[in-house]
Structure 1
Amino acid sequence: MTALDLHADPVTLTAALVDIASESHDEAVIADAVEAALRTQAPGFEVVRNGDAVLARTNLGRPSRVILAGHLDTVPIADNVPSTRALLDGAEVMYGCGTADMKSGDAVFLHLAATIAEPVHDITLIMYDCEEIAAKFNGLGRIERELPEWLRGDVAVLGEPSDGWIEAGCQGTLRMRVRTKGTRAHSARSWLGDNAIHRLAPILTRLSEYSARSVDIDGCVYREGLSAVRIEGGVAGNVIPDAAELDVNFRFAPDRSIDEATEHVLEVFAGLDAEIERTDAASGALPGLSAPAAADLIAAAGGEVRAKYGWTDVARFAALGIPAVNYGPGDPNLAHKRDEHVRIDRIIDAERVLRGYLTA
Structure 2
Amino acid sequence: MPSLDLTADVVTLTQQLCDIESVSRDEGRIADAIEAALESLTHLTVTRRGHTIVARTDLGRDERVVLAGHIDTVPLTTDPKNLPVRRESVGGEDVLWGRGTVDMKGGVAVQLKAALLPQPSRDITFLFYEAEEIDAVYNGLALLAESDPDLLAADFAVLLEPTNAAVEGGCKGTMRVEVQLKGIAAHSARPWNGHNAIHDAHEVLAALAAHDEQTVHVDGLDYHEALQAVGITGGIAGNVIPDSCTVLINYRFAPDKDAQAALAYVQTVLPGRELHVRDLAEGARPGLDLPAAQSFVAALDVPVGPKEGWTDVARFSALGIPAVNFGPGDPNLAHHDEERCPVEQIVASQDALLRWLA
Report TM bin, short chain.
Answer: over 0.9
For structure 2, list consecutive stretches of 5 or more residues without a partner in the other structure. none
**Aligned-partner Cα distance in 2 for 1:167–1:24:** 25
Shift of 1:271: 3.0
Once the two structures are superposed, residues 319-360 of structure 1 have per-residue CA deviations (whole angstroms, 9 ceiling, x without a partner) of 11111000010110000001101000000000000000001x
Output the CA distance in 2 between the equivalents of 1:155 and 1:185: 60
Name the structure 1 match of 2:86: 84
Matched, 1:213 2:214: yes
CA distance in 1, matches of 2:51, 2:353: 26
CA-based RMSD of the aligned residues comes to 0.9
Question: Which residue of 1 is the match for residue 10 of structure 2?
Answer: 10
Distance 1:217 1:232 in 2: 36
1:283 equivalent in alignment to 2:262: no
- Per the alignment, residue 136 of structure 2 pairs with 135
| Aligned with 2:114 (options 112, 115, 118) | 112
CA distance in 2, matches of 1:344, 1:280: 37
Distance 2:243 2:275 in 1: 17
CA distance in 2: counterparts of 1:351 and 1:54, whole angstroms: 20
1:1-360 counterparts in 2 under 5 A? 1-40=1-40, 42-78=41-77, 79=80, 80-114=82-116, 116-272=117-273, 275-359=274-358
Secondary structure of the equivalent of 1:100?
Answer: coil
Residue 303 (structure 1) shift: 4.7
For 1:294 and 1:245, the matched residues in 2 are separated by 43
Q: Unpaired segments of 5 or more residues in structure 1?
A: none
Provide, for residues 105-136 of structure 1, a one-character-per-residue CA deviation record: whole Å limited to 9, x for no partner: 0001011102x122100010000000000111
Structure 2: how far apart are the matches of 1:207 and 1:357? Answer: 45
Between the aligned partners of 1:238 and 1:351, the Cα distance in structure 2 is 62
Structure 1 residue 34 displacement after superposition: 0.3
Structure 1 Cα separation of the partners of residues 141 and 157 of structure 2: 13
1:186, 1:204 → 2: CA distance? 26
Q: Which of 121-130 and 275-284 deviates more?
A: 275-284
User: Structure 1 counterpart of 2:39, which letter?
Assistant: R
Distance in 1 (CA, whole Å) between partners of 2:45 and 2:218 is: 37
Rounded to whole Å, the distance in 1 between the matches of 2:42 and 2:113 is 13
Equivalent residue of 2:293, what SS? helix
**If the length of structure 1 is used for normalisation, what is the TM-score?**
0.97
Counterpart Cα distance in 1 of 2:322 and 2:286? 7
Question: How many angstroms apart in 1 are the aligned matches of 2:352 and 2:70?
Answer: 20
Moved over 6 A (4+): none
Contact between 2:66 and 2:158, CA under 8 Å: does it hold in 1?
yes
Partner-residue secondary structure (3-state), 1:43: coil
Cα distance in 2 for residues equivalent to 1:349 and 1:209 = 43
Conserved? CA contact 2:166–2:302, under 8 Å:
no
Q: Which moved more, 1:185-194 or 1:308-317?
A: 185-194
Classify the secondary structure of the residue corresponding to 1:99. Answer: coil
User: The residue matched to 2:141 in structure 1 has which SS?
Assistant: helix
Q: Aligned partner of 1:238: which letter?
A: N
- Distance in 2 (alpha carbons) for counterparts of 1:304 and 1:295: 13
CA distance in 2, matches of 1:27, 1:47: 17
Identity %: 49
Write the distance in 1 (CA, Å) between the matches of 2:318 and 2:210.
33
Query: Displacement of 1:293 after TM fit?
Result: 1.5
Task: Give the match's secondary structure for 1:245.
Answer: strand
Count of paired positions? 355
Q: Equivalent residue of 2:15, what SS? A: helix
* Residues 131 and 138, structure 2, Cα contact 8 Å, conserved in 1: yes
- Letter of the 1:93 counterpart: V
Aligned equivalents of 2:85, 2:126: Cα separation in 1? 25
1:150 CA drift (Å): 1.1
State the Cα distance separating 1:38 from its structure 2 match.
Answer: 0.3
Alignment partner of 1:34: what SS? helix
Q: Secondary structure at the match of 1:23?
A: coil
- Quote the Cα distance in structure 1 between the aligned partners of 2:151 and 2:200: 51
Distance apart, 1:276 and its partner CA: 2.1
Question: Comparing 180-189 with 348-357, which one deviates more in the overlay?
Answer: 180-189
